[in-house]
Every structure is written in structure tokens, then in C-alpha cells.
A and B are shown apart, each in its own frame.
Chain A
Amino acid sequence: MLPKEDAPAVVKVTGLEKSYGPVKALCGIDFEVPAGSVLGFLGPNGAGKTTAIKIITGYLTADAGKVEVCGLDAAEHALEVKQRFGYLPENNPLYLDMRVSDFLQFTAHAFSLRGAAAKQAIERAVLQTGLQSVFRRGIGQCSKGFRQRVGLAQALLHDPELLILDEPTNGLDPLQVVEMRHLIRELGKTKTIIITSHVLPEIEALADRVVLIHHGRKVADGPLAGIACNGHGSCVARVTFRCTDCNLDGLLDQAEATLLETRPSPFSDPSICSALIEVEGSEGLARVAQAAADRGVDLIELAPQSGTLESLFQNLPPGSEL
């Protein structure tokens, strides 16, 4: 299998622009989603995430720009493109008057699956999303967690190459969030996924690439680790190392890093120390690694931490709420 960075793009967005009257929602964003990757589409509320998703799915048209899905122009080949993706819209709209089984049957027919193919597709989607216990129940009688699974099942039904999930854990309780993330992580092993969220830990837990947009413009794009420390201000990292007589202050001074707090060692070995440090971008991380090597310190771990995307958002221009 091709490394994700070199894999062909399943989605290619070029110069996408959209205005709602005088309000410019998207100001020419470009990005690609390589095959097999899970792309986190991040941004504060009102940044333009959902507008971009609605254009990719064909629900809205763009004022300018182009969307290609699996090499097909989404505007010219709308029906073919719609066969290639599964979509879970924000707030998970469903026909509450239908039974789960009838709704999935309707969706299967909508995607031109008939007879045995439809039956097989429904069985697979029900199994994947764990809907067996509510299969004959009315959707309106299902819990929010199950409804979210129904939404995911309809998106998965025709076994699409691409899954587009707009805020998939919105409104779920913590246990349901964990279940939904587990499901998405499993799906990410075999499918290309675009997932939007403004919940940063969610993106960190699920995505391997991130596109960050703000006021309709792309402000960052790349692998998650790179985004976390890409020069947009400081970033927090956990450093774990082994040494018997460490001069941590000296090491950090050399690397121009700041000690935030020492952490209990994750190992029982007393010679292993751990700390949270603040460094300037990915260059800062490289300097820490260099300083450790210069001083003969065994570096066990040097990793950007949860919270780094928060700091990225905080470094964005004011005028938006998270």
C-alpha cells in the first residue's frame, strides 16, 4: 500500500469560494485528501467547515473553484460522485417516522442496491454499527446514540470509498462519544474519511491529517504532528529521557525551551524523568533532540501534546468563538 502522503487524492478541492450575500464564507480554499487517510477538518464555529462539506457533497454549489472526488469533477458528474461517498450530515437528520430497517432499505434502493445486494449491504452496515438490537424499531424510538449509528449506517451502506462525517459526536454523551470514536477509528482502517469538528481532542484521537480553516481561509494543512508544531506560536511537548545526573535546566536552556512542569515517570525506573515543555514550533522540538544528543541523554520520548491544537486556535486572529 502507498504511504498516505504519496497516495492519490480521493478528494481534491481547488480555489473553493462561497458567499452568503455579503458574507464571504469561503475565500478560495485548496486541500487534498489522500486515499486511506483520516482528515480532520478543523476550525472555529463559523469558519466555513460545514459550507465546504456541503459543497463537496453537492448540497450547495460553489461560487468559484472545483471539487474532484475520485478523479471526477463533482459539478459535472454529480450522480457518479454521490455514489462514491457516504455522508453523515451535521445534526444527523433522519426520518423519525420510519423503522431502522425500512430506512436502510430505502437508502439501499437510493444507491441502486436491490435484492440480495441490498440485503447483504444492510446486514453488513448493521453489523458494523451494532444496530442489531434496534433493527425493527422506529428511529424516533431510538436513543440518540443509536440514531447516530443509524446515520453512520446509512452513510456506510453502499460501501463508499469516502466517508464524510460532519460533527459526528455532536450531542452524544461521553460513553456514546467513546463508542462513536471507536467505530470511526475502525472505519478509518479501510476508508478515506473527512471528519469535521471543533472538538480538538476528537480530531487528535481520530485524524492523521488536519486542515485548519479560519474565516473561510485555510491556515494550516498537513499531518497532525506537523500541524501541532508548524511555527504557529509555541507548542507543548512531553519529553521523557533517561539520565542519572541530569541538568534539565541546562538542556532546556540550550534548546531554548521552557519547563512547564515535571511529570511522574511513566516507568518504574527512577532514572527516567518526564516533563512537559514549551518549545517554538517544530524547530524547537528539533533543538531539544539535538541538546539531548549533545549531552548524552537517552531521549525516550519527545511528542507534541494534547492541547497543542488549542494553542494553535488561540494564536488565530480574534473575532471567532470556539
Chain B
Amino acid sequence: MRSLLIAKREFFSTFDAPTGYVVLGLFPALAAVLFFLTGPYFALDEASLRPFFASMPWLLVMLAPAITMRLWAEERRSGTEELLLTYPFRLRDLVIGKFLGAWAVFALGLLCTIGVPFTAAAMGDLDWGPVIGGYFSVLLLAGASLAIGLFLSSITDNQIVAYLLGAAVLMGFNLIGVAASAEAMPEEFARLFLMLDFGNHFHAITRGVLDLGHASFYLAIMVFFLAANGVVLERRRVR
């Protein structure tokens, strides 16, 4: 309940900044353009949203750090972190609240892409099962990406640094599977890298199979980075 108070504040304050317009305007527009104009949609001659969802991990590399970069870094730079931490909130209320706020912002942006499947459905026979599964997996992927971005925002007081770190780390999580295919890679590492690869889990869910293992991976990433965020804040009290 206390988390929701923080989530609400973060949600609305996003739309006082340009980030809000990027999420609500640029993100859906870019997703649609990538799908209809540059993707293989028309060439495939079928009503499938697979290319649309395939662009999401890369859009999130850019978008997730944009949503999270200010969440802690700006609090720290402006000193308002001291207000928050001396109000009667538990650290977990603050961390979870900020995370939920960011997730809600993204979810609203994702909702704005709803025109894409409806347009596709109007142009052909669309199977809605994978579409719903796809949206669900995008939300999970976004949750993991935002938790990482939020954590990285807590280790700096510079929003730009937080953004660049977030984009770099998310890119790493999306490319780590490529490293697994290197010939010289020992098998144990290859397995580990494939297990950590965001795209690997993402594409498995978007194929329409709701596998709890893949969903749990994203949930585990969220829990890990939110806990790490709490540890950073607690360590800063001790400093």
C-alpha cells in the first residue's frame, strides 16, 4: 500500500518530463514503424505479430533506462532522497514503489501500441493467442529491464550515466547469447550465457508457449535487482 503512494508519484511525475512523451508518443510510433515499414510484415503475407514483438528487446534497451534513469539519480542529485528516506517509509516500499511506477509508465506506453495488432487483424486473419502471450512477455521483459535500470540509477547521481549504464547492461543481456555460440566457449559458460540471455527467454514466450521457467527467469531478475537496489540504499546509510 505504501509502495503504491510512491508508484503514483513516480507515474505522474514521469509525465511532467519529456520521458513521458517519449514513452507515450515515440515508443508506440517507433514500434509501429519498425513493424509495418521496415519489418518483413508484408513480405510474409500472413497476419503475425512476431516481427513486432521481436523488435521489443531492442526498443527496451533504449526505452527502459530512459524511464528509470532519473528515479534514484535525480533524487540523489537534488537531495530529495533525504526527504524520502526520513519519511516513515521502509526501504522496500520505496524501491518497489519506484519500480511499480516505472512499470506502469511502460505499460501505458505498451497500451498505446494496441493499434498495431488491430490493424494487423483488419488486414488478415490474426491469431490472438500469441498476441496476448507476446504482450505478456513484453511486460515481463520490461519488468526485468526496468529493475536493472532502477538499480543502476541508484548507484549514481547523474541521470546520463544511469542511462548509458542501463543501455549498456541491457544490451549485454540481449547479446550474451551470441557469445554462447562462440566455438572456443566452454560448454558450462555457454549454458550460463544462454540462460541469462534476455532474447532467448523472450522469444520462447512469444512463440505462444507460456513456460513458467522462462517467466520465472524474468521474475528472478526483477527480485535480484530490486534487492540489490535496497542493498545500495542501505549501504549508503552506513557509508
- The tally of residues in B whose CB lies under 8 Å from a CB in A reads 20
Interface centre among B16, B81, B83, B90 (most CB of A within 10 A): B83
* Cβ-defined contact, B86 with A93, below 8 A: no
* Cβ-defined contact, A95 with B80, below 8 A: yes
For the complex, what is the distance from the CA of A213 to the CA of B9, rounded to whole Å? 39
With contacts A89-B79, A106-B9, A109-B5 taken as known, whether A60 is within 8 angstroms of B239 at the C-beta atoms is yes
Contact of A82 among B80, B81, B86, B238 (CB under 8 A): B86
* Cβ-defined contact, B238 with A61, below 8 A: yes
For the complex, what is the distance from the CA of A59 to the CA of B16, rounded to whole Å? 28
Q: Identify whether the interface residues of B are mostly helix, strand, loop, or mixed.
A: helix
Q: Identify whether the interface residues of A are mostly helix, strand, loop, or mixed.
A: loop
* Cβ-defined contact, B5 with A106, below 8 A: yes
For the complex, what is the distance from the CA of A112 to the CA of B87, rounded to whole Å? 10
- Size category of the A interface is 20 to 34
Contacts of B85 in A (CB 8 A): 58-59
* Cβ-defined contact, A82 with B16, below 8 A: no
Cβ-Cβ contact count across A and B, 8 Å cutoff: 55
For the complex, what is the distance from the CA of A109 to the CA of B80, rounded to whole Å? 17
For the complex, what is the distance from the CA of A20 to the CA of B237, rounded to whole Å? 11
For the complex, what is the distance from the CA of A89 to the CA of B182, rounded to whole Å? 54
CB proximity of B83 to chain A, nearest CB, Å: 6
* Cβ-defined contact, A97 with B16, below 8 A: yes
Contacts of A275 in B (CB 8 A): none
Contacts of A96 in B (CB 8 A): 78
* Cβ-defined contact, A110 with B237, below 8 A: no
The yes or no answer to B82 lying at the interface (CB within 8 A) is: yes
For the complex, what is the distance from the CA of A48 to the CA of B66, rounded to whole Å? 38
Interface of A with B (CB < 8 Å)? Answer: 20, 54, 57-61, 79, 82-83, 87, 89, 91, 93-98, 106-107, 109-112, 154
The 9 closest A-B pairs by CB, nearest first: A93-B79, A82-B88, A110-B87, A97-B16, A93-B80, A57-B86, A89-B82, A79-B88, A61-B237
